[in-house]
Structure 1
Amino acid sequence: MTSRFRTFALSLTRPQKIAIMVVADVIALPICLMLGYLLRLGEADYLEQYGFAAATVMALATIPVLYLSGLYRNVVRFFDVRMLRTTGVSLAVLAIGTYGITIALGAHPPPRASLLIYWFIAFSYVLFSRLFVRHLLHQSPAARLKRPRVAVYGAGEAGFQLVNSMRDGRTHTPICFFDDDSRFVGRHLSGLRVYGMDDVIRVVYGADIDEVVLALPHASPERRKFIVNRFASMGILVKTLPSLDQLAESSALEYTIREVQIEDLLGRKSVPPMEALFSRCVQGKCVLVTGAGGSIGSELCRQILSRRPTTLLMVEHSEFALYTIELELKTRFPNCQVIGVLGSVLDEPLLERITRVHRVDTIYHAAAYKHVPLVETNMAVGLRNNVEGAWVVAKVAAQNRVQTCVLVSTDKAVRPPNVMGASKRCAELIFQAYAAESDVQTTFSMVRFGNVLGSSGSVVPLFREQIQHGGPITVTHADITRYFMLIPEAAQLVIQAGAMASGGEVFVLDMGDPVKVIDLARSMIEMSGLSERSETNPEGDIEIRVTGLRPGEKLYEELLIGSHVSRSEHPRIMSSRENSLSLASLDVLLRTLLGQCRQNSEPGMMSALQLIVPEYAPYSQWQRPTGDTAPPAQPVRALLSYWQDDVPSVAPTGRTALSR
């Protein structure tokens, strides 16, 4: 019966639904007035004394008054408190108007107390009639299926709205609250009891909780990580609410609940950009991005267009990647000039032409091969793309007097044991050499950061896919550690680097302490509501398998070569002095290296590479026995601990900027 009514109601057109509501109200509201008479006067005989003039006026006035109040325009399934308030005021106006019009018509006016009684009866009718229909419409087949039993962590405003939304949506069953605040523990909110963290195990297992939703939009990353790990260790799936801004509409609350992302567990807040720096080299300028179809390049393009450049030029050698990002950006920013250029950074005439014709102001060079094992086994191609590509970009920028040119580098460029890292260090040296030239008007700078979460080749999507397939998760070494940052953080750092540069700096974001990759894998297993399969837990769900270091892979990464640091405009971005080469001497070494690349001589390429990057030590010199552990990576903040407010900044030439 209920399902047939729901099907019938949903099949009606909007005018048909309004017509049914109008007819029902025209009939019911005069009856409500007659009931008000009866309750006030006590006997039905008195009704004849007052006649039916007021009831007739009520029927005629019902439609325009309630229509103007918006009651008929409101969707019954989303009947809210604001609509109730409007309805109450409208019914009061209707009652008072009925009294006045009855007198104006010369009829016997109804008792004033009966109108007050009428208001309560009519309001109850409107409320319960709409709620009844709403209840019937929510009784879908899906609503009768087993719904997850949910505990809400956070007995505040966000938690209160979330529980009410769950009850309206009927897709989850709220069971209880958890909260750290002892003032709430033991009390009830929205009819549910609030428990403390000491009761977690007893309540979760006793009440058969399926999920926990964090309603703590402003909790610190450390606190969120602790809570997630606590419930994940019990096999409970944890979800979260993004922010209180997204909780303004209670009807949308359930759609803002999302799975806890791995970035929630890194234990640090994202580094916000400084607005003045963020716009300085972009707003009102012509900007060129190489490697625009990659993870960093595409995010750079998005961030740049949000700052209203005159033109964005995107250079990309992959046709599909360029098509994808160009389509997205032209859809999102229809009023901005976006030009896709299909080509390689090795094509010097192409880069020279577009830079000259469009009078480019700023270049962000993000085009590079970044996968360590692939570059290690394809040495010649990797060196040409990463080294010669940076050389071409720097040369074109200097010749065309581009204002700012920023290189996207990597922490693998610091004391590299692999070809990819050494090639990026070469690229840094090229930019440093051009920055040191007195006749070059372009400001060259570099950005060095660690692993970017969510980028192509990142361990996070790899681990997620391995978990979805039932494992095992593959980790190359039990002690391997990495620095992690978010894609927006990386793009914002690149853009700010150009704004702060005076020439030759390498900017590095403080990404907190390095994270053990195996701990990251365990956190992702727990976040999925699963357990690790190990010798101590043979019945677990997902195995973590150590496969051994790949060629050229380091156990740990570093952010700095030198240790002399000074401040910059951004409070978390600093500078460090590093060695550099003159452009004249570097020119000879680069020609030797690229000559070996054309001959595809691996020994020759490695020897030439070591002449440019003396700290480059091929993988065989770094490889350790499986049982050895890596020396702990030194956190950035430890290197900066000696700062004094009165320490003068070092000279700009050859500087490396460090984000603290």
Structure 2
Amino acid sequence: AILLAVVFILALRMCIRRKSTSKSKTEKNHPVMIIGAGDAGANLYRNFANHPEYNYQIVCFVDDSCSKIGRQVYGIPVVGNRYAIMKAVEEYEIKTIIFAIPSCPSKDKTEILNICSRTKCELKLLPSIDQMLDGQIRISDVRKVELDDLLGRDPIAIDVDTVAGYVEGKTILVTGAGGSIGSELSRQIASHHPKQLILFDVYENTTYEILQELKRTYPSLDVKAWIGSVRDEVLLDRLFATFQPQIVYHAAAHKHVPLMEDSPNESVKNNVLGTLRIVRMSDHYKVNRFVLISTDKAVNPTNIMGATKRICEMIIQCYNQKSETEFVAVRFGNVLGSNGSVIPLFKRQIEEGGPLTVTHREIIRYFMTIPEAVSLVLQAGATAKGGEIFVLDMGKPVRIIDLAENLIRLSGFEPYKDINIVFTGLRPGEKLYEELL
């Protein structure tokens, strides 16, 4: 009996070891294609080779350079240019594609990533060199491809020194600080060492979140949060008297077109009257500069929200003519991923199995990432003289149907086959295209 037990235990151990070995081999068999056989791609290959714990097996490279096609990088073949991607994915049973050309022009990058998105492989990339801290290639720099990577926009150069000189040492008030734009404004302002940052918003939960984030990230920052509405004139008076802000960024507003069509009174109260009251306070307390966050929907408005924002622009231009405060507005289009925007809606619809809802097949919009838009707002505020309406360069407009299809592919599905897209018709006050001027 003892002998049988020993034999049984030894056999069990052998089975476990064999299963473990088999599992290890399976985990390591994760075929990866690297796009870009230059220095970045080669460095990335070496990093993965030195870190087997990632279980990535680099099996081929793709590069548009004719001089590299047919050659090898550390024994790994360069199988062709971008047009060989689909065939190579099938031949090598690729599971992950890593785009490793940090200096690639945006047009080529977009075209290549769009090809990759049709493969159903996991897509990752190295950010551009200027987005990496010291230009060194690290595995930790590799990230998932996001929708904004497919927009084909060149990075916008920001005059950081001008913005820093404008913000540093100042007391700054941000209204709507808990929202998508307001919270990013707060983050970027905090990075430029203001004397004091005041967060003002009617929503306590989102304001609390950005307050805690700023305290963690910038422990020496003097940051305060007040909860209240821009309609509350008594509270605004106390706020300005307490902190004496030198710069005001006014991001608080109702922005959803369909909702404001059904609630026009609320849109006027919050957007117009709220702006008028905080403008009056800024004038009364001699704020140095007031920056209004406006929208492309204020151009030839066809909806309530756009009309209220146009009135806000007129208010600040009117006050700029008689006030010591410099009043300016910054007008831009849609930002990717903002609260209530189309991207979070599409993501939720994909999670639910579809369909994705698009109002019209030909509807187009201008898009910009939230950090990019906010950095331009800060630069506009830093260079303003008073009375201007700055219009951000939003690049080329994007068809919403293309966004929907790309997002489905990035999620690993095939549009119209795995997840459908349906067209619901334009909503009241909605345009096929937006104007910036």
TM-score by length of 2: 0.90
Shift of 1:158: 2.0
The answer for the alignment partner of 1:192 in structure 2 is 76
Q: Distance in 2 between matches of 1:164 and 1:284?
A: 45
Q: Is 1:299 the equivalent of 2:184? A: yes
**Secondary structure of the equivalent of 1:195?**
coil
Shift of 1:370: 0.6
The answer for the alignment partner of 1:550 in structure 2 is 427
Cα distance change, pair 160–358 in 1 and its aligned pair in 2 (3 A):
same
What is the one-letter code of the residue matched to 1:337?
A: D
What is the one-letter code of the residue matched to 2:39?
A: E
The answer for the alignment partner of 1:419 in structure 2 is 304
The answer for the alignment partner of 1:485 in structure 2 is 368
Q: Distance in 1 between matches of 2:134 and 2:117?
A: 25
Q: Distance in 2 between matches of 1:147 and 1:413?
A: 55
The answer for the alignment partner of 1:206 in structure 2 is 91
Cα distance change, pair 247–187 in 1 and its aligned pair in 2 (3 A):
farther
What is the one-letter code of the residue matched to 2:46?
A: N
Cα distance change, pair 397–201 in 1 and its aligned pair in 2 (3 A):
closer
**Secondary structure of the equivalent of 2:328?**
strand
Contact persistence 1:346–1:392 (CA under 8 A): yes
Shift of 1:460: 1.6
Deviations 1:74-97, CA, capped at 9 Å, x for gaps: xxxxxxxxxxxxxxxxxxxxxxxx
**Secondary structure of the equivalent of 1:409?**
strand
- 2:35 aligned to which of 129, 134, 153: 153
Greater mean alpha carbon deviation, residues 163-172 or residues 515-524 = 163-172
Contact persistence 1:246–1:256 (CA under 8 A): no
The answer for the alignment partner of 1:619 in structure 2 is none
Deviations 1:323-366, CA, capped at 9 Å, x for gaps: 11111111111111001011111111222222223221100000
Note the 1:128-527 alignment, pairs <5 A: 144-145=26-27, 147-167=29-49, 168-197=52-81, 198-243=83-128, 245=132, 253=139, 255-437=140-322, 440-527=323-410
Contact persistence 1:281–1:362 (CA under 8 A): no
Q: CA RMSD in A?
A: 2.3
Q: Distance in 1 between matches of 2:99 and 2:123?
A: 7
What is the one-letter code of the residue matched to 1:559?
A: L
Residues matched between the structures, number: 417
Q: Distance in 2 between matches of 1:399 and 1:182?
A: 67
Shift of 1:170: 4.5
TM-score by length of 1: 0.60
What is the one-letter code of the residue matched to 1:305?
A: A
Contact persistence 1:481–1:555 (CA under 8 A): yes
The answer for the alignment partner of 2:5 in structure 1 is none
Contact persistence 1:158–1:247 (CA under 8 A): no
The answer for the alignment partner of 1:47 in structure 2 is none
Cα distance change, pair 279–460 in 1 and its aligned pair in 2 (3 A):
same
Which structure 1 segments of 5+ residues have no match? 5-137, 534-539, 561-660
Shift of 1:270: 2.7
Q: Distance in 2 between matches of 1:140 and 1:279?
A: 56
Cα distance change, pair 339–143 in 1 and its aligned pair in 2 (3 A):
farther
Q: Distance in 1 between matches of 2:127 and 2:247?
A: 35
Q: Percent identity?
A: 45
- 1:531 aligned to which of 414, 420, 423: 414
Deviations 1:222-277, CA, capped at 9 Å, x for gaps: 11111112222344442212245479777x51x43322111111111132221243
Greater mean alpha carbon deviation, residues 551-560 or residues 399-408 = 551-560
**Secondary structure of the equivalent of 1:174?**
strand
